Structure 1
Amino acid sequence: MELFNSDLERNITFVRPPYFIISGFTGIPNMKYYYVILFIVYIVSVLGNTAVMVIICLDHTLRTPNYVAVFNLAFADLFGSSAVVPKLPFNAPFNLVALSYDRLIAIIFPLHYQVKVTHKFMFSLIAVSWLFVITVTLISVDLLTRLSYCESVVINSYFCDYDFIQDLACNDNALNVVTDHLISVLTLWLPLLFILCCYSHIGYTVLAAVRERVKAFKTCTSHLSLVAIYFLPVMFTFALNEYIDANTRLINMCLTTVFPPMLNPIIYVLQTQEIQVSVKRLLKIKKQSKTPVKCKI
């Protein structure tokens, strides 16, 4: 009985350190140049995403359900770049899901687009995605509080990486690992599968009527670029996580964090005709407003 009580007390005794130490980019050569690159990428990301948000707000022709999702993506990228934790990075896959669904309906069912893709539908989808991501984050944090830390408190990352924190635990973290894999399936692999299914259907339809649908297919290139930029680095990190050293994984995670928010607005400005037309129209209006009015006597 005494042995049982001692085991019980040991199981319910948690060692919670007052803080964790984030090691950051230590032991990586020529980091000063990398910091300069990160600074430039961050500035471009902030300016680009802010510009996209301002353009959508100023041009009433862009206040469509599609650009509601684009605005939300720019918003998430802007504040995600400025505050890594909590970054809520998984909100980006759900924005890409919304954009792929929008393109699917617009190309496959163009006559039903106005009925199926409404502002109410897009706002509801975005709200659900934010609520889901916040809930997942709270669950992950709650599971971390159930772990005990009796050895190292040094996190080999540049932010409070969930995986590194649960790996430092000295008690059973099986529930955390299972939950982590489940969250990865729900927030990464299922959205990717849905996106691939959407664009496979679009591709099949376009190939069936090439001449009539080439122009429509071009509107998907920007979305496919965003999908590749976000998912490929993440999949690379997950696939080779056990085979790459800590510093390589750290740099790859950092690039995955900072580069998609920088490239997203650039891709939309360069590849989306509506954005290009809107920029030209806004610049023309601004130029005309500054032109002095000549008075005839």
Structure 2
Amino acid sequence: MDENNVTRISIIYLLGFTIPQSIKCFVFFLFLMIYCVTVGGNLLIIALVINSRALQTPMYFFLSQLSTTDILLVTNILPNVLRNILLKEKTISFTDCLSQFYFFAMSEGMECFLLSVMSYDRYLAICKPLHYTLMMTHQFCWTAVIICWVLIMLIVMIITLTVTKLKFCGPNIIDHFFCDFDPILELSCSDITKVQLEVTLINAVFVVIPFFFIIASYTYIIVTIFKIQSVTGRKKAFSTCSSHLIVVSMYYGTLLCAYLVPKGQTLKTTKFMSLLYTVFTPLINPLVYSLRNKDLKQAAGKLIGQLKSAVNKILLHWKPCKLLKQA
């Protein structure tokens, strides 16, 4: 095939989910509610960390960054899913498709980095408590986060630019609910071997290595916890990292199932597994941290109290309220 004469793809059809007409409204409002709760829950965590002095620690700083990543991920995916549920023509421009892939890959990669840094934070807190304040400084936290953001943006930019150099001649149909890497490559009529090799190497360095780093950190943490003599001490030490361990298990569990075992799966199963780590993991993350964390609960209680007092002051000085009281 002469690659100079191929028809370039400009519009892509995202097939998404096959939803019966009778339950379309229900599915739409379900996803809308999930989106609102996810964004609201993660924004609440960010607000609590900024507002509360008790939460001005490295662990909660990294948690606020994780919440930012979750908001970016779900905002990149769900609005387009909601649009496609309502509209008959489920189209997206090729440029928008690549943009969606860029922000998806960036948020997923950033989550891997942040979970690794958070595991290092827990490792220092439990295994090296005397060195914690010296090593986990405010400057270190900001430097680590900035390096992670810059690094992941550059890495994903390289991948995206490499993909744009390919020729895309169709068919212009993606049987998925968002523009993932493999479905995009299926549209190409160029040789994709080099791109696949490049992405495999990048994934090995920036996804697999952080995963094993987390495993190594938690191996040391578990060994240290078992060395603690008192049962109370063990429970207290484990409680400080249990939420993070649950989030790591959910995130990497669904990610590995979606990408390492896809070939024998049906498309419906692949979509469902992708739905878990792109939509439900960002929803569950704030719930896991808030339900299992006393500091966050106390900070939320104080914030609600402050909001109530602020509303009461506004109502007291509002003229219609004064007239009602006088009447």
TM-score between the two structures when normalised by the length of structure 2: 0.80
Q: What CA distance in whole angstroms lies between the structure 2 residues aligned with 1:161 and 1:266?
A: 27
| Letter of the structure 1 residue corresponding to residue 130 of structure 2 | L
- Aligned twin of 2:155: 136
Task: Name 2:16's counterpart in structure 1.
Answer: 25
**CA shift at 1:133, angstroms?**
1.4
Q: Which of these residues, 63, 66, 71, is aligned with residue 73 of structure 1?
A: 66
Q: Deviations over 1:251-276 (max 9, x none)?
A: 32122201111111111111122212
Amino acid at match of 1:259: F
Q: CA deviation at 1:99?
A: 1.0
RMSD (CA atoms): 2.2
- Once the two structures are superposed, what CA deviation does each residue of 1:89-135 show, in whole Å capped at 9, x if it has no partner? 21111111111111100111111111100111111111111112111
Q: Distance in 2 between matches of 1:26 and 1:19?
A: 22
Deviation string, structure 1 residues 222-263 (Cα, Å, up to 9, x no partner): 000110121111111122210112232123212220111111
Question: How far did residue 28 of structure 1 move?
Answer: 5.2
Which residue in the other structure is 2:128 paired with? 109
In structure 2, how many angstroms separate the alpha carbons of the residues matched to 1:14 and 1:191? Answer: 43
1:287 CA drift (Å): 5.0
- 1:279 CA drift (Å): 1.8
- CA shift, 1:183, in A, is 2.5
Question: What SS does the aligned partner of 1:220 have?
Answer: helix
Mind listing any 5+ residue stretches in structure 2 that lack a counterpart? 78-99, 317-327
Q: 1:143: how far off? A: 1.2
1:53 aligns with 2:46: yes
Query: Which residue of structure 2 lines up, in the alignment, with residue 282 of structure 1?
Result: 303
Identity %: 27
Runs of 5+ consecutive residues of structure 1 not aligned to the other structure: 1-6, 293-297
Following superposition, the deviation at residue 150 of structure 1 comes to 2.9
Q: Helix, strand or coil: the match of 1:100?
A: helix
Counterpart contact for 2:17–2:177, Cα < 8 Å: no
Kept after mapping to 2: 8 A contact 1:22/1:160: no
Deviates more, 1:156-165 or 1:20-29: 20-29
Partner Cα distance (1:185, 1:210) in 2: 39
CA contact (8 A) 2:11 2:172 kept: yes
> Which amino acid in 2 is paired with 1:94?
F
Q: 1:251 aligns with which of 272, 278, 291?
A: 272
**Structure 1 match to 2:263:** 242
Q: What's the TM-score, normalizing by structure 1?
A: 0.87
Deviations 1:6-55 (A, max 9, x none): x9xx57x3746241413232545577244343222111101100111111
Correspondence for 1:145 = 164
Cα–Cα, structure 1 residues 165 and 285, in superposed 2: closer, same or farther, change >3 Å?
A: closer
Aligned partner of 1:263 among 263, 275, 284: 284
Contact 1:23 1:157 in 2 (8 A): yes
Preserved CA contact (<8 Å) 1:91 1:130? yes
